[in-house]
Amino acid sequence: DDDDDSRDASEEEEEGGTETTSSAALRPFQVFYVPQKPYLVSGSLRDQVMYPRAGSSDFDDEIIEALSRVNLLKLVNAHGLDRVPHDWADVLSGGEKQRVGLARLYFHKPSYAVLDEATSAINPDEEGSFYDHLGTLGITAFSIAHRMELKKFHHSHLHFHADGT
């Protein structure tokens, strides 16, 4: 039942179950919002991906997988998962910030995602693989975008005109 899905790994262990290292153990999110400029916390790369959850090395394999899916393994190589730079906003480009937002989404695996211009600073040639992976994870995406090219990643479209129609 839904209550079982919201338990964390420590509760699983206390109840005599097998401790899990799956991010599904942290999955209370049904809807996840990814803005054009994702919020960057004061913390490590692990903290960036796990936000809004507290960072835990128990999930490093899943964090690295999420970062790999968005082509950010170079950040792991340069900073590791534990190093805390002075300000991630100064370290990351606009496209890298958006990739962190997508890695966060992949890590948390919500049922639904609202992507508000979430790929506007990412090379359009890469968007297809990002949207395909959402489907692989079973995430239904709702995109808010100005670029009509994103239509091809969705089954339905809702278009608002300047006059409100």
CATH of the domain at 135: 3.40.50.300
Residue 143's pLDDT is 84
- pTM assigned to the model: 0.76
Residue 157's pLDDT is 65
Q: Is residue 7 part of a domain?
A: no
Residues 84 and 43: beta-carbon distance below 8 Å? yes
Residue 18's pLDDT is 38
**Ranges of the chain with pLDDT below 50:** 1-21, 23, 26
Residue 27's pLDDT is 52
Q: Is residue 9 part of a domain?
A: no
Q: Is residue 57 part of a domain?
A: yes
Residue 92's pLDDT is 93
Residues 45 and 81: beta-carbon distance below 8 Å? yes
CA distance 93 to 99: 10
Domain that holds residue 38: 31-153
Residue 152's pLDDT is 62
